[in-house]
């Protein structure tokens, strides 16, 4: 049977706004796709999931139309199915491990089960059930499952349908135990959820005015609507997790002060928030942006709605995005939409120094970018920027590359070719070549051992840092990674923290 | 995050200098001279950095002084005591290195006068001889004269138009003071002023520190908007600064980058000029 693809918005109508591009499966589509799963006796897909979701079981429950059961199965391991189902690079993870993908292929075969789309179907079923205040085990009809995309900034205030057991106060032996989580990105949110379910009182401290970390400022609403993000975070609040925005641990409060306030442990989910630049001439010209700045202005500060939102972002007539990961693709697709919204002829190119196979981005994002009209200039390495007398970017200078021997990442190394210099018009450039550890806290805390890149060193099993009772996970530990990888580390940390918390006496 | 007090310190056609006392207990506890906060007046607002002029740990409040020049500062200036800011976070940036240097010259231009106040006070408390030079375009924009007089060994005032104090620029007075041995010059003000200060002090080899006013978004080192070139290296004003060795700053680049949203700024001010 052919794999089932969910509906998508037409490229022309997509780029006129920030509406979500990929629709949820309808019930019929989900059932068709779920039935393609052969329910392997020894499923290999589960080992491909960084948080070990029982994929075989949740798919089986979909087949039986037990959507509540499927939801609870996923929730046993993953608090955020509506997020992960939208952003997980499943083609490198569970789908690659699926029995339908041949060993040794660089990413999942087209025949592998669309586990991520099924996960999203289940997550969104949970979201919609809560919106309708659904009770009981009725099967949901085709019409009731949303088959339209979410508007980018709708807010969903509903109660999650089936709050999992737990929450502060749920366990007598954990009453009064407090843990602080620093950062409300994927790692922090996941750790908080696990700890709350363990009966601990959790407070998340977030430095920005809005929660979600990279889920909010980095991933555009046409991939992850902010209303969905709000809903998933709200589920944590229902578990008793407190979230305090506008507090920078390290500046407004120190780690020592948290311990003095009787937090038994601290989890650091600080993220890799520092942008890398290329260190090229002209990189500080006006309109050379880091992808972080560009995306933060648009996604977090709403710059696409300027002047209703007061934060501006420049738009550009000839935009070049440098990089080949999801961040580069996101930035390119945002830049294109800004052009369309501002009645500028769409003209966005991605310059990448290797070829498409080596691009770390999700294949779906690359495909969507092409559909939307983004040009790909591969085997191209920028070597400089030049501007006009007002200090604004006008041109980008590049070299063409060839692929040589594999480098330490296992990918073939790009080798710039002598004499291949060329120049292209460019009045706005976005540098999306990677992110490094955010060192705001670690620089203030010398007792926290970091490696030469500023990443926090941890015990790989317990996730404990060099300081007792301080744990860390996510990009601040592993360097740039995915949402689900961050969650895998957060779960390890939460498990250790729960095991090590001194229990209240039983009497 | 409530605004508790508000006072207009100076007003001329087109701009005001406004002082506000704001509830911000975590900032008030920790803020040191030289540090700043990033705040949003409204949910749809911009994140903007403002220097903490003073902090009161007991009452949990901080004082901010800002010039109402652009859309967001004007919006902020339209709020009144009782209004809540949407967000405020800090203290950010490195604190000024306060120690006994000897003779210290502090130079404040325009709203920079407010920004040197906490540093001048701390320098005086650390046992330095403090010479303060403040400059403004005209008499009505001179602020904090009484406050600075009480903490400086000598206070000099200049106005561009000669309507108060001495006619001329702060650097005119600086040149004269440099005839005596000075150990530190600390300047905050418009970019051309700070650049001029650096040029004037260079031949004397005296350590010169400038507190830069780069544009920011998050203020926590995440985006690179506030990047400046210091001695050929790229630094982020929000986490590596806001103070830098004035002799190493690429002033031309800072000036150019500060104008990146001039068009957008004009647009939003024009649209809203009746509402703010």
Q: Same structural domain for residues A20 and A92?
A: yes
pLDDT of residue A164: 44
Nearest-10 crossing angle of helices A55-63, A27-36? 130
Q: Looking at the domain assignment, is residue B53 inside a domain?
A: yes
Say whether both B252 and B118 belong to one domain: yes
Q: Which residue of A has its CA nearest to B48?
A: A311
Rounded CA-CA distance A319/A339 in Å is: 9
The number of folded domains in chain B is 2
The tokens for A297 are 């202005």
- What pLDDT shows up at residue A410? 81
Nearest-CA distance A273 → chain B (Å):
5
The pLDDT assigned to A272 comes to 87
C-alpha distances (whole Å) from A352 to each of A98, A216, A293, A384 are 30, 26, 20, 15
- What is A359-382 written as a DSSP string? --S-HHHHHHHHHTT-EEE-SEEE
Residue A27, min C-alpha distance to chain B (Å): 38
Q: What is the pLDDT of residues A198-215, one digit of tens each?
A: 889 999 999 999 999 999
The predicted model gives B116-131 an average pLDDT of 97
Query: Collapsing DSSP states into helix, strand and coil, what is residue A405?
Result: strand
Query: Would A233 be classed as within a structural domain?
Result: no
Is residue A263 domain-shared with residue A284, that is, in the same domain?
no
Convert A185-196 to b/e letters by CB count within 10 Å (16 or more is b): bbbbbbbbbbbb
- Would you say residue B192 has pLDDT above 80? yes
The CA-based angle B197-B202-B206, given to 5 degrees, is 90
Please tell me whether residues A323 and A367 are part of one structural domain: yes
Can you give the pLDDT at residue A239? Answer: 86
Closest alpha carbon within chain B to A282:
B253
Kindly state whether residues B42 and B174 are assigned to the same domain.
Answer: no
What percent of chain A shows pLDDT beyond 90? 80
What is the domain-level CATH number for residue A257? 3.50.50.60
Whether A277 contacts chain B with CB within 8 A: yes
Q: Check B223 against A440: CB less than 8 A apart.
A: no
A312, A418: one domain:
yes
User: Mean pLDDT score of chain B, rounded to an integer?
Assistant: 95
Q: Does A252 sit within 8 Å of B46, measured CB to CB?
A: no
Distance between CA atoms of residues A41 and B13, nearest Å: 80
Averaged pLDDT score across all residues of chain A: 90
Q: How many CB atoms lie within 10 A of CB A11?
A: 14
Q: Look-up: residue for tokens 């996960």?
A: A119
Q: Which of B35, B66, B92 is the last residue of a domain?
A: B92
Please name the residue that has the structure tokens 């607002």. Answer: B45
- The pLDDT tens digits for A34-54 are 999 999 999 999 999 999 999
- Kindly state whether residue A252 falls inside one of the protein's structural domains: yes
Instruction: Examine the fold and report which residue of A404, A435, A466 is the final residue of a domain before the chain moves on.
Output: A435
Which domain CATH number covers A97?
A: 1.10.1060.10
Same domain, B182 and B212: yes
Judge whether A273 and B222 are in contact, CB under 8 Å.
yes
Contacts of B78 (CB under 8 A, 6+ apart): B276
| Contact flag B225-A245 (C-beta cutoff 8 Å) | no
B97 in a domain, yes or no?
no
User: So what's the pLDDT on residue A107?
Assistant: 86
**What is the pLDDT at residue A464?**
97
Band (pLDDT 50/70/90 cuts) for residue A135 is: very low
Asked if A409 and A295 sit in the same domain, the reply is yes
Q: What is the CATH number of the domain that holds B19?
A: 2.40.30.10
Residue found under tokens 């998508």: A8
Domains in chain A, number = 3
- Half-sphere exposure of residue B17: CA atoms within 13 angstroms, side-chain side: 20
Question: Which of A277, A301, A310 is facing B224, going by the closest CB pair?
Answer: A277
Residue-number span of the structural domain to which B208 is assigned: 103-257
Residues A340-390: pLDDT tens digits? 999 999 999 999 999 999 999 999 999 999 999 999 999 999 999 999 999
Query: Domain ends where: A412, A435, A458?
Result: A435
Restricting to A residues 388-447, those with a Cβ less than 8 Å away from any Cβ of B are: 390-391, 438-440
Domain co-membership, B141 together with B68: no
Do B157 and B231 share a structural domain?
yes
Range of the domain at A463: 172-207+247-273+437-500
Smallest Cβ–Cβ distance between A284 and the set B27, B229, B267 belongs to B229
Domain contains B132: yes
> Does some domain include residue A284?
yes
Torsion angle defined by CA atoms of residues A142, A148, A150 and A156, in that order, rounded to the nearest 10 degrees:
-30
Final residue before a domain boundary, out of B92, B118, B134: B92
Q: Do A301 and B217 touch (CB under 8 A)?
A: yes
Name the minimum distance, in Å, from the CA of A505 to any CA of chain B.
35
Residue of A498, A389, A492, A501 whose CA lies nearest to A50: A492
Q: Are residues A398 and A456 in the same domain?
A: no
Establish if A355 touches chain B: CB-CB under 8 angstroms.
no
Residue A504 reports pLDDT greater than 90 = no
Domain match, A382 and A444 both: no
My answer on whether B19 and B65 are in the same domain is: yes
Can you tell me the distance from the alpha carbon of A52 to that of A41, in angstroms, rounded to the nearest whole number? 17
Structure confidence by residue, pLDDT tens digits, A282-300: 999 999 999 999 999 999 9
Q: What is the pLDDT of residue A407?
A: 84
Kindly tell me if the per-residue pLDDT of B180 is higher than 50. Answer: yes
Domain-embedded: residue A163: no
Say if residue A279 is in the same domain as residue A428: yes
With a pLDDT cut of 90, the percent of chain B lying above it is: 95
Same domain (yes/no): B210, B73: no
Task: Write down the H helix ranges in A133-248.
Answer: 186-197, 214-217, 226-238
From the list A332, A306, A337, A304, the residue with the least C-alpha distance to A319 is A332
- Angle between helix A363-371 and A326-341 (nearest 10): 20
Confidence at residue A168, expressed as pLDDT on a 0 to 100 scale: 55
Q: Is the pLDDT reported for residue A116 higher than 90? A: yes
Q: Verify that A257 and A195 share a domain, yes or no.
A: yes
A312 close to B (CB below 8 A): yes
Residues 6+ apart with CB under 8 A from A369: A329, A332, A333, A350, A376
- Looking at the fold, whether A186 and A255 belong to one and the same domain comes out as yes
**Residues B71 and B112 grouped into a single domain:** no
Name the 3-class secondary structure at B9: strand
The answer to whether A280 contacts chain B (CB < 8 Å) is no
Residues B70 and B195 in one domain: no
Residue A145 belongs to a domain: no
The reply to whether B75 and B204 lie within a common domain is: no
**Does residue A273 belong to the interface with chain B, where contact is any CB pair within 8 Å?**
yes
The residue-averaged pLDDT of A114-124 equals 96
Same domain, A264 and A280: no
**Angle of helix A483-500 relative to helix A186-197, nearest 10 degrees?**
40
- Reported as a pLDDT band with limits 50, 70 and 90, residue A447 is very high
Same domain flag for B165 and B56: no
Distance from CA of A390 to the nearest CA of B (A): 7
In a domain, B270, yes or no: no
- A169-172 CB contacts, 8 Å cutoff, 24+ apart: A169/A199, A169/A201, A169/A240, A170/A199, A171/A198, A171/A199, A172/A504, A172/A506
Is B251 contained in some domain? Answer: yes
* Same-domain status, B140 and B82: no
- Please report the number of interchain residue pairs, chain A to chain B, with beta-carbon separation below 8 angstroms: 117
pLDDT at A505 over 70: no
pLDDT score at A131: 60
At B173, which CATH number?
Answer: 3.40.50.80
Query: Contact at 8 Å (CB) between A109 and A3?
Result: no
- Closest CB to A440: pick one of B45, B91, B221: B221
- Residue A132: pLDDT band (50, 70, 90) is low
Q: Mean pLDDT, to the nearest integer, of A404-428?
A: 92
Position A88 in a domain: yes
Find the closest chain B residue to A292 by CA distance. Answer: B223
Together in a domain, A342 and A461: no
Distant-in-sequence, close-in-space partners of A139: CB < 8 Å, separation ≥ 6: A65, A67
Whether B49 and B92 have beta carbons less than 8 Å apart is answered as yes
How does pLDDT run across B79-108, given as a tens digit for each residue? 999 999 999 999 999 999 999 999 999 999
């Amino acid at each position: 049977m052919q794999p089932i693809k969910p509906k998508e918005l037409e490229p022309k109508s997509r780029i006129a706004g920030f509406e979500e591009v990929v629709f949820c499966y309808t019930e019929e589509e989900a059932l068709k796709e779920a039935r393609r799963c052969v329910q392997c006796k020894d499923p290999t897909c589960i080992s491909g999931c960084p948080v070990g979701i029982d994929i075989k079981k949740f798919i089986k429950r979909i087949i039986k139309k037990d959507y509540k059961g499927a939801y609870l199965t996923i929730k046993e391991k993953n608090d955020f199915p509506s997020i992960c189902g939208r952003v997980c690079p499943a083609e490198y993870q569970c789908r690659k491990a699926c029995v339908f993908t041949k060993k040794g292929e660089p990413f999942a075969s087209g025949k592998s089960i669309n586990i991520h789309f099924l996960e999203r179907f289940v997550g969104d079923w949970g979201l919609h059930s809560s919106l309708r205040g659904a009770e009981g085990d009725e099967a949901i009809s085709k019409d009731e499952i949303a088959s339209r995309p979410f508007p980018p900034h709708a807010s969903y205030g509903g109660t999650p349908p089936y709050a999992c057991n737990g929450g502060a106060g749920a366990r007598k032996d954990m009453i009064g135990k407090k843990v602080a989580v620093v950062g409300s990105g994927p790692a922090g949110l996941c750790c908080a959820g696990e700890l709350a379910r363990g009966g601990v009182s959790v407070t998340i401290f977030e430095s920005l005015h809005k929660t979600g970390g990279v889920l909010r400022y980095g991933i555009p609403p046409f991939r992850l609507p902010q209303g969905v993000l709000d809903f998933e975070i709200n589920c944590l609040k229902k578990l008793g997790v407190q979230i305090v925005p506008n507090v920078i641990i390290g500046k407004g409060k120190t780690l020592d002060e948290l311990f003095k306030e009787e937090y038994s442990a601290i989890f650091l989910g600080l993220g890799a928030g520092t942008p890398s630049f290329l260190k090229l001439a002209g990189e500080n010209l006006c309109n050379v942006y880091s992808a972080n700045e560009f995306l933060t202005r648009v996604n977090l500060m709403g710059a696409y709605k300027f002047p209703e939102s007061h934060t501006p972002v420049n738009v550009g007539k000839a935009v070049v995005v440098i990089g080949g990961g999801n961040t580069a693709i996101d930035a390119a697709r945002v830049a294109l939409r800004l052009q369309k919204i501002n009645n500028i002829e769409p003209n966005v190119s991605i310059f990448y120094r290797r070829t498409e196979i080596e691009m770390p981005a999700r294949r779906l994002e690359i495909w969507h970018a092409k559909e939307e009209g983004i040009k790909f200039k591969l085997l191209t390495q920028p070597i400089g920027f030049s501007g006009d007398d007002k200090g604004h970017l006008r041109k980008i200078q590049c070299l063409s590359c060839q692929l040589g021997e594999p480098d330490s990442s296992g990918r073939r190394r790009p080798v710039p070719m002598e004499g291949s210099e060329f120049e292209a018009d460019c009045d706005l450039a976005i540098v999306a070549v990677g992110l490094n550890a955010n060192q705001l806290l670690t620089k203030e805390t010398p007792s926290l051992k970091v490696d030469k890149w500023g990443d926090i060193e941890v015990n790989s099993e317990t996730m404990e840092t060099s300081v007792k009772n301080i744990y860390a996970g996510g990009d601040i530990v592993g360097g740039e990674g995915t949402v689900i990888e961050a969650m895998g580390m957060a779960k390890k940390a939460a498990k250790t923290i729960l095991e090590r918390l001194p229990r209240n006496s039983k009497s | 995050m409530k605004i508790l007090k508000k006072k207009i310190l100076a007003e001329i056609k087109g701009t005001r200098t406004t002082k506000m006392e704001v509830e911000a207990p975590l900032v008030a506890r920790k803020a040191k001279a030289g540090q700043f906060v990033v705040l949003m007046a409204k949910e749809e607002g911009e994140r903007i950095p403002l220097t903490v002029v003073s902090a009161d740990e007991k009452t949990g409040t901080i004082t901010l002084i800002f010039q109402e020049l652009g859309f967001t500062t004007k919006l902020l200036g339209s709020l009144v005591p009782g209004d809540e800011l949407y967000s405020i976070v800090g203290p950010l940036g490195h604190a000024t290195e306060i120690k006994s240097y000897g003779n210290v010259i502090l130079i404040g231009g325009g709203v920079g006068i407010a920004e040197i106040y906490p540093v001048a006070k701390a320098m005086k408390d650390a046992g330095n001889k403090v010479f303060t030079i403040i400059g403004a375009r005209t008499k009505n924009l001179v602020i904090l004269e009484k406050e600075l007089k009480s903490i400086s060994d000598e206070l000099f005032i200049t106005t561009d138009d000669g309507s108060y104090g001495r006619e001329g620029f702060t650097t005119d007075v600086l040149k004269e003071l440099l005839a005596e041995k000075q150990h530190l010059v600390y300047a905050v003000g418009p970019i051309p002023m700070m650049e001029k200060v650096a040029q004037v002090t260079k031949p004397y080899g005296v350590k010169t520190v400038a507190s830069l006013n780069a544009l920011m978004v998050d203020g926590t080192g995440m985006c690179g908007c506030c990047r400046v070139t210091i001695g050929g290296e790229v630094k982020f004003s929000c986490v590596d600064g806001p103070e830098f060795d004035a002799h190493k700053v690429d002033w031309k680049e800072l000036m150019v980058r500060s104008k990146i949203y001039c068009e957008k700024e004009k647009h939003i001010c024009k649209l809203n000029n009746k509402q703010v």
